[in-house]
Structure 1
Amino acid sequence: MNVANTSRARKARLDELVPSRYALRIGKIDVLLISDGVLPLPTTTMSTNAEPAARTAWLDEKFLPRETLDWALNVAVVRSGDQTILIDSGVGGEFPAFPRAGQSIPRLEAAGIDLSSVTDIVITHMHMDHVGGLLGEGVKERLRKDVRIHVAEAEVKFWEAPDFSKTVMPAPIPDVLRSVAGRFANAYRSQLRTFAEEVEVAPGVLARRTGGHTPGHSVVCLESGGERLTFAGDAIFQVGFDHPNWQNGFEHDPEEAVRVRVRLLREVASSGALLAATHLPFPSICRVAVHGDAFRSVPAFWDY
């Protein structure tokens, strides 16, 4: 995240043909978006309550395949004051059906960020593509013993007896989600710092519970020097701007998730803040404009 890391980062991954990290500043806060890779999933999963013809029309309009869509998978690193904060950790090696994901940890190191420098971790929610990276071989041993892992209290409680009755996921995934969340909670229980509704993780870095996608789903709001960025986790997917009422198969409370999505998009549009999210195309940085009863994503120009 600084010039001193550049030569080291270049030597680490000369084989990469596309960018996998993008840095920006929010006032005095440094932000680094990192691609964990992509997750190929059925297009029906992103729009379980949509008419098939409407789904096909949207996909065709975006020049996207009709059957399987690559979901981007992004994590973030934030530096505020003397704290280095990792937001989510990617999927790791927890689900072999996703061989093009699980790149966050090596890409952190390629960017010159040693795991031992991470003081805090924010988990937006405990789905496997957000906590799996922390379960990789040797990861816990490289983290500080006193690393603080911030996660909503409601999220930890939910995964003690998770309810999948309103989800529409491919058959193997619920069992994997349940297993990975349990392993994460057991492995890091002593480092967990739970919060009820919100917590200031560092100066200008606020984790806030939204619920919806999962009961403890949270977003991370950055604010410094009059600038703002919201990392929205899974509150917003690519289709959610045009069709915010389309439900996602991974949402444990899809109706509440729609309300959360609309409220968050209106909030970001009103404030003019930048938006980033886990499953928006990398690097995911955009602004939000109101477009009738829906919204419009306005991609940010890359700052070179």
Structure 2
Amino acid sequence: MSVDSIALGSAGLDELVPSRYAVQVGDIEVLVISDGVLPITARTMATNADPAEYGEWLNDMFLPQDVLDWPLNVVVVRSGAQTILVDAGLGVEFPDFPRAGQTVHRLEAAGIDPSAVTDVVLTHLHMDHVGGLLTEGLKERLRPDLKVHVATREAEFWEAPDFSHTDMPAPVPDALRSIASRFLNEYRGKMRTFETDYEVAPGVLVARNGGHTPGHSIVRLASGGDRLTFAGDSVFAPGFDNPEWHNGFEHDPDESARVRIQLLRELSATGEALVATHLPFPSVCHVATQGDVFRCVPAAWDY
């Protein structure tokens, strides 16, 4: 995987704001890429929180009370001869979200040809994780023998999704249903499903943990004594010091809280690095315990 820097402004690919960050996990190369940011109503981040308490949390984090910029990260992993894209971002078909859908451009800026990607791992089938695979400029450049790994329960869920326990803005469920259906129609022949876990490449394990969606999965990297977990949507920014707060996109909010607490306890005990989809870029951090809650400790930038 080439991550050579490109001269500022050349071919319009480089940017003043960093959008990719390299991490080494033993012999495994990891590149965190920002797909951009999405606007999200603040309430969606903590639907069961006391409004006054949540408002105080937003103030403490210097965040607005109405609409937030929600970070959106994907990951490229190289292990052995395989180059693996973990999630694919939003894509460019959503004019209401002009600051997201940047994955294809930022792969190019990092010197990564989409045809070099051997595998795609999808944590789940929400549109901000699969939309990039439906985007002109990316999908036609993917290799014919591409393998797309997704949990069996996730693929089955989106055949007839149940939104009864979610609390999302009104237009979102129809968009989620439409994009997931398109993805399944276009990529069914490339999908490699698994029940509980699957080793995609040496030291790269995708494991279903559920909660956010029935087949939501995380990706665990291990090499040479180093470990890193890409948690997808298991953890959001409020979920460290308020892990029982619900996110409106969670299809089983109570199970999501249980999964989140279990994962954060484990990461706190092991000390391994954490990366997640919707934590501020590059989102590489460690988890510490603070009384009965958790604390996100950002990793020092290595450059």
Give the TM-score band, short-chain normalised. Answer: over 0.9
Residue type matched to 2:63 in 1?
L
- CA distance in structure 2 between the partners assigned to 1:282 and 1:233 by the alignment: 13
- Pairwise mapping of residues 46-65 of structure 1 onto structure 2 (< 5 A)? 46-65=45-64
Task: Give unpaired runs (5+ residues) of structure 2.
Answer: none
Residue type matched to 1:102 in 2?
G
In structure 2, the residue matched to 1:188 is 187
Tell me the TM-score normalised to structure 2 length.
Answer: 0.97
In structure 2, the residue matched to 1:72 is 71
Choose 12-21 or 83-92, whichever is displaced more: 12-21
Choose 247-256 or 90-99, whichever is displaced more: 90-99
Residue type matched to 2:132 in 1?
G
- CA distance in structure 1 between the partners assigned to 2:234 and 2:108 by the alignment: 28
In structure 1, the residue matched to 2:286 is 287
- CA distance in structure 1 between the partners assigned to 2:25 and 2:6 by the alignment: 24
Are 1:86 and 2:82 an aligned pair?
no
Distance of aligned partners of 1:130 and 1:240 in 2 relative to their CA distance in 1, 3 Å threshold: same
- Shift in Å, 1:94: 3.5
Residue type matched to 1:216 in 2?
G
Task: Give unpaired runs (5+ residues) of structure 1.
Answer: none
In structure 1, the residue matched to 2:130 is 131
- Pairwise mapping of residues 12-23 of structure 1 onto structure 2 (< 5 A)? 12-13=11-12, 16-23=15-22
Aligned-CA RMSD value: 1.3
CA contact (8 A) 1:42 1:69 kept: yes
Are 1:296 and 2:295 an aligned pair?
yes
- CA distance in structure 2 between the partners assigned to 1:19 and 1:140 by the alignment: 25
- Shift in Å, 1:162: 0.1
CA contact (8 A) 1:94 1:180 kept: no
CA contact (8 A) 2:13 2:105 kept: no
Are 1:241 and 2:235 an aligned pair?
no
In structure 2, the residue matched to 1:114 is 113
In structure 2, the residue matched to 1:275 is 274
Choose 64-73 or 89-98, whichever is displaced more: 89-98
Are 1:40 and 2:69 an aligned pair?
no
Distance of aligned partners of 1:9 and 1:129 in 2 relative to their CA distance in 1, 3 Å threshold: farther
Tell me the TM-score normalised to structure 1 length.
Answer: 0.97
In structure 1, the residue matched to 2:219 is 220
Residue type matched to 1:65 in 2?
P
Residue type matched to 1:58 in 2?
W
CA contact (8 A) 1:94 1:128 kept: no
- CA distance in structure 2 between the partners assigned to 1:125 and 1:14 by the alignment: 29
- Shift in Å, 1:266: 0.6
- CA distance in structure 2 between the partners assigned to 1:115 and 1:241 by the alignment: 34
In structure 2, the residue matched to 1:207 is 206
Residue type matched to 1:189 in 2?
R
- Shift in Å, 1:13: 3.7
CA contact (8 A) 1:8 1:110 kept: no
Taking only the aligned residue pairs, the percentage that are identical comes to: 65
- CA distance in structure 1 between the partners assigned to 2:138 and 2:72 by the alignment: 19
- CA distance in structure 2 between the partners assigned to 1:110 and 1:188 by the alignment: 26
Aligned length: 303
In structure 1, the residue matched to 2:156 is 157
- Shift in Å, 1:8: 7.4
Are 1:258 and 2:257 an aligned pair?
yes
- CA distance in structure 2 between the partners assigned to 1:34 and 1:15 by the alignment: 13
- CA distance in structure 1 between the partners assigned to 2:75 and 2:7 by the alignment: 20
- Pairwise mapping of residues 87-106 of structure 1 onto structure 2 (< 5 A)? 87-106=86-105
- Shift in Å, 1:15: 5.7
- CA distance in structure 2 between the partners assigned to 1:42 and 1:8 by the alignment: 37
- CA distance in structure 1 between the partners assigned to 2:237 and 2:225 by the alignment: 27
